[in-house]
Chains A and B, each alone.
Chain A
Amino acid sequence: MARINLDHIRHAYGPNPTKPSDYSLKEVHHEWNDGGAYALLGPSGCGKTTLLNIISGLLQPSEGKILFDGKDVTNLSTQERNIAQVFQFPVIYDTMTVYDNLAFPLRNRRVPETEVDRRVTEILEMIGLSDRAKKKAQGLTADQKQKISLGRGLVRSDVSAILFDEPLTVIDPHMKWVLRSQLKRLHKQFGFTMVYVTHDQTEALTFADKVVVMYDGEIVQIGTPAELFEKPKHTFVGYFIGSPGMNVLPAKIDGSSVDLDGQTLALSFAPKFAAGAKTELGIRPEFVRLGREGMPVTISKVEDIGRQKIVRASFANRPIAIVVHEDGEIPAEPKITFDPAAINIYADSWRVGGEA
Chain B
Amino acid sequence: MEKTWNNKAWFMVLPVLVLVAFSAVIPLMTVVNYSVQDTFGNNEFFWAGTDWFIQVLQSDRFWDALQRNLLFSGIILAIEIPLGILIALNMPKKGLGVPVCLVLMSLPLLIPWNVVGTIWQVFGRVDIGLLGYTLAAIGIPYNYVNNVLDAWITLIVMDVWHWTSLVVLLCYAGLVSIPDAYYQAAKIDGASRWAVFRYIQLPKMKRVLLIAFLLRFMDSFMIYTEPFVITGGGPGNATTFLSIDLVKTAIGQFDLGPAAALSLIYFLIILLLSWIFYTVMTNSDAQS
Contacts and interface: CB of A to CB of B under 8 A. Distances in A.
B54 interface: no
Contacts of A87: 181, 184-185
Given A93-B200, A94-B203, A136-B288, A109 B190 contact: yes
B177 interface: no
Interface in A43-84: 53, 56-58, 77-79, 83-84
Interface residues of A, number: 27
Interface in B97-120: none
A101 to B, nearest CB: 9
Contacts of A152: 185, 189
Contact of A108 (B184, B191, B200, B288): B191
A91 B195 contact: no
Interface in B182-220: 182, 184-185, 187-192, 195, 199-200, 203-204
Contacts of B187: 57-58, 77-79
Contacts of A57: 187
**Among the interface residues B184, B189, B200, which one has the most CB atoms of the partner chain A within 10 A?**
B189
A104 B181 CA distance: 16
A58 B184 contact: yes
B41 to A, nearest CB: 61
A95 B199 contact: yes
Interface in A118-136: 136
A96 interface: yes
B179 interface: yes
A94 B199 CA distance: 8
Contacts of B288: 95, 136, 138
Interface in A138-184: 138, 149, 152-153
Q: Which of A53, A77, A79, A149 is the most central at the interface, judged by chain B CB atoms within 10 Å of its CB?
A: A79
A269 B181 CA distance: 51
B145 to A, nearest CB: 49
Given A95-B199, A108-B195, A136-B288, A89 B179 contact: yes
Contacts of A78: 187-188
Contacts of B204: 94
A139 B278 CA distance: 21
A83 B189 CA distance: 9
B181 A108 contact: no
Nearest to B187: A78
B190 A108 contact: yes
Nearest to A90: B181
Contacts of A89: 179, 181
A79 B187 CA distance: 7
Q: Rank and list the top 3 A-B pairs by shortest CB-CB distance, nearest first.
A: A108-B190, A91-B185, A105-B189
Given A88-B181, A109-B190, 16 more contacts: A58-B187, A79-B190, A84-B188, A85-B184, A85-B188, A87-B181, A87-B184, A89-B179, A89-B181, A94-B204, A95-B203, A104-B189, A105-B189, A108-B191, A108-B192, A108-B195
